[in-house]
Every structure is written in structure tokens, then in C-alpha cells.
A = this chain, B = another copy of it.
Amino acid sequence: MKITTPTLLLDKQKAIRNIRRMADKARQNGVRLRPHFKTHQSAQVGEWFREFGVEAITVSSVRMANYFANHGWNDIMVAFPANVLEIEMINELASRIKLHLIAVNQETIELLAQQLRHPVQLSLKIDTGYRRTGILATNYAELDQMVQKIREQDKMHFSGFVVHDGHTYKQNDVYAIQTIYNTSVYQLHMLRERYKSKFPNLQLSIGDTPSCSIIETLRGVDEIRPGNFVFYDLTQQRIGSCSFDDIAVCMACPVVAKHPERSEIILYGGSVHFSKDVILQEDASEAYGRVVELSGSGWSAPLEGIEVVSLSQEHGVVKATPEQFKKYQIGDLMGVLPVHSCLTANLMQGYLTTEGERLEHLMGVPPQELVS
């Protein structure tokens, strides 16, 4: 297939290897893998998880839940504070799949109680340190009231506690990540103890790709919900979650200009393709992408002396050593590993596998086809 515009390549074998590694780890640790599908948002990529026994998934929006429900998934957690304004679609989904919602406050539980027409699983989101959202694990007054409120409702089944330790993304030290994980597990156990007499089957669920990738022994939880691991990216490599060779997606961008006087190459590929995420490298320089050599069947490790140093809406600026500079000609394709694969995939709206197959992404699916 001839590539003429910025295209997101997907190495299916690497993605499947990433899925297998995480599924093996989950099985060995006796935890359920409920992968987050917000990274790939693709019905076809979703299918690859089935052969590893995955039956339950995580998504980040009701719309995404609807998309995957329409593709045969019937145990879906929307890992985002329940948005009561979407009650109509929530009810529609709850009527046909096992739908899990997340609450972070009493108001939402009350609004759901008034408006739910079909039963849902409800978990409480606990903030164990990230401080984005969730109830503090020590806020017993609020937790007790929320749990009591759920207990009174016949349309809500209290299923347990979920955590997303997003602060692992700021680390690049295995001990820091282990400490974050241990802290969360400790806090979750305290909560389970508190409520287990009334709810003997409470589930504990954690979510971030760094913890799930880096920590070998995932003790103390029932479920893990990583998402990014299916593709990984430069951010995860920097954290230590993966090697460069595990990164399963790569942008192919046409070379449209060369500036020998400053050894810069201009790509067709900008912030509308990559997103604007940036990575701070070990030497404190910033990169918007690392350049790799494309081959017929995939791509190389990142090259030294050449990287994406800035992005505007459609342009990418690549700085190169004179040696790297002279290798590229106008009309060539340059391979670039993305800083944040979730956002790049969200913008690119589809994939081209290294085997030549086109795969869809929710953002490229017309709205009318999303309605079941």
C-alpha cells in the first residue's frame, strides 16, 4: 500500500506480544486483566485480546462503551467519573451489557439513583495519591455515606474500589513506582476490611501501565486495567515500562523540505497528527518524536543524531546531524515513534498494519454507525 500522507503504522506482532506479556503476568499473579481500550479504540485491535481470555474491558467514555458493546463486548467499565448528563445512553447500555460505572461523590450516586432504569455495577474511585479525582482513602465519613446510599438502591451493585495512579507517569525509578503501588494496595486493603462484612466480594482494581509493566509481583489486587501497554510509546520507554523495541506504533511522514544551512528537515506531520505531547529526555532536551528507519516489514530502533524538535499544526521540524541529514530526500517517508500513542492514535483515526491491513479507530467512525 502506497503511503502518501502522515500514516500511523501498527506492528501487529509487537502489539500481540505486548498483550501476551501482560496477560501472562495477570494469570501468573491471579488477577483479572481488564484492559483499557482507550489507547487503541479499535474494534479489530480489541479482537486480538480475546485469544488471551480477555472478556472484560475498560473504556474512558460512554460513547466508547457503546462502540465496543456494538462489537460484542458485554462487560465494560467506564473508568471516568459517571457523567449523569449521559443517562439516556447509560440506561440503553445497561439494558444490554454488564455496565460498570465509577462514582467519586455522593451527588452522582443520588442523581444515578433517581434516573437509572437498569442495574449497573458501581465502583468507588479512590484517590491514593494522584490527586486528580477520587475520594481520599481516609475520608471515611464520605465513604460511609456513599456506601450506605448505594446499599439502598436496587439498580446499583457495589462492586468495589478502583484506583488510577497517574503519578507513576512522573517517575522513572522502579522503586518509586513500587512504593506508589504498595501505598495504593495498602489503602485499598484498609477499605476492603472496613466494608467486607456487608460486601464480602468487593473487588480491588488498579490501572496504570507503568505499575502493571514494571512491577513483577502484582499482589493484593483483584484486577488490573492498563491500556497504553498494547502500543507503548516514548513516554513509557522513558519511565521504564518498555524497551524501544516494544513500541508497536510508528508514524510514517513524508519529507517535504530540507534546510541544509541549519541541518533541519521538514515533515508533513504536525500537532494535528502527533498531538503536542513532548518528552524530556535524559540529557534534558525536549523531543516531540524519535526518528527510526522504516523497512518493508517494520522499523529500526531510534536513530542517534536525529529527532523531532518542534511541531506546528501540519509541520514537523527534525534536527539532524549532517550525516543523518544527507540520508533523507524530498519525497521520502520518515518513521517517527510517538511521544504519546493514545493521543496520536486518537488524532490519526486509523491504522495501517505492517502487513498492509487498514484498521479502524472510533474517531474515524461516522456518528450514525455508532448507534446500535
Kindly specify which of A155-163, A210-218, A312-320 makes contact with the partner chain. A312-320
> A226 → chain B, closest Cβ, in Å?
14
> A128 → chain B, closest Cβ, in Å?
15
Question: Does A153 touch B at the CB level, under 8 Å?
Answer: no
CA gap between A122 and B61 in the complex, in Å = 46
Give the total of A residues in contact with B, Cβ under 8 Å.
60
Chain A to chain B contacts (Cβ below 8 Å), 27 pairs: A3-B85, A4-B86, A5-B62, A5-B83, A5-B85, A60-B313, A80-B268, A80-B315, A81-B257, A82-B256, A83-B254, A83-B256, A84-B330, A105-B258, A105-B330, A107-B329, A108-B257, A111-B330, A132-B315, A133-B256, A136-B261, A272-B343, A275-B276, A276-B277, A276-B343, A313-B342, A313-B343
Instruction: Look across to chain B and name the residue whose beta carbon is closest to the beta carbon of A317.
Output: B132
> A326 → chain B, closest Cβ, in Å?
13
CA gap between A3 and B261 in the complex, in Å = 52
Question: Does A174 touch B at the CB level, under 8 Å?
Answer: no
CA gap between A83 and B271 in the complex, in Å = 17
In the complex, which residues 229-266 of chain A have their Cβ closer than 8 Å to any Cβ of chain B?
Answer: 254, 256-259, 261-262, 266
Question: Does A63 touch B at the CB level, under 8 Å?
Answer: yes
> A300 → chain B, closest Cβ, in Å?
21
> A53 → chain B, closest Cβ, in Å?
27
Instruction: Look across to chain B and name the residue whose beta carbon is closest to the beta carbon of A85.
Output: B4
